[in-house]
Amino acid sequence: MTADFYEPGHTYAKSHGWKFRVDMITTHPADGERTALGWRFFRDEWEPYEYGEGDWSIHQATGGFTEITKTEADR
């Protein structure tokens, strides 16, 4: 089954060393839009980051992610 949004406890990767580790999902109090909160690895640094539903759609349209939760070695 394919996920329809980021999942807490999962780490995703794309090209050029980009990774996003999802710690939690929150929802907007007025409209319910989901936002994933976690850590992004980009340019050799981990930084706190968030991605919304629009970001999920854009990433899927540009080739999707590789789910690396079980194989991740770079924490």
For the chain of 75 residues, list the mean pLDDT of each consecutive stretch of 10: 85 89 98 97 95 88 80 53
The whole-number pLDDT of residue 35 equals 98
CA distance 52 to 39: 14
Residues 6+ apart with CB under 8 A from 17: 41, 42, 44
The whole-number pLDDT of residue 8 equals 96
Q: Show the tokens assigned to 53.
A: 């539903």
The whole-number pLDDT of residue 71 equals 63
The whole-number pLDDT of residue 64 equals 76
